[in-house]
């Protein structure tokens, strides 16, 4: 998930900003577009496979 960062301590979460802080909302959402396209394709493929059995 491109929107997720992991932290090794609560202190890191407090001190360090999320990478998204360096982007405008539009720029940041552009970085998550690929993931959304891929998961939509996965869902569509699953449903198409099911529909073909009906």
39 part of the interface to another protein, by CB under 8 A: yes
Q: Which residue has the tokens 């998204």?
A: 20
Q: Which token pair is 37?
A: 């396209």
Inter-residue contact 19 to 5 (CB < 8 Å): yes
Instruction: Write down the least CB distance from residue 27 to another protein, Å.
Output: 11
Q: Which token pair is 9?
A: 């301590």
27 part of the interface to another protein, by CB under 8 A: no
22 part of the interface to another protein, by CB under 8 A: no
- Round the CA-based radius of gyration of the chain to a whole number and report it: 17
Footprint on this chain of another protein (rule: CB under 8 A): 1-11, 13-15, 17-21, 25, 28-29, 32, 35-36, 39-40, 42-51, 53-54
């Amino acid at each position: 998930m491109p929107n997720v960062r992991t932290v090794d301590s609560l202190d890191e979460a407090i001190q360090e900003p999320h990478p998204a802080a360096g982007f405008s909302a539009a720029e940041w959402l552009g970085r998550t577009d690929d993931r959304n396209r891929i998961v939509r394709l996965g869902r569509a493929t699953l449903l198409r496979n099911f529909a073909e059995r009906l």
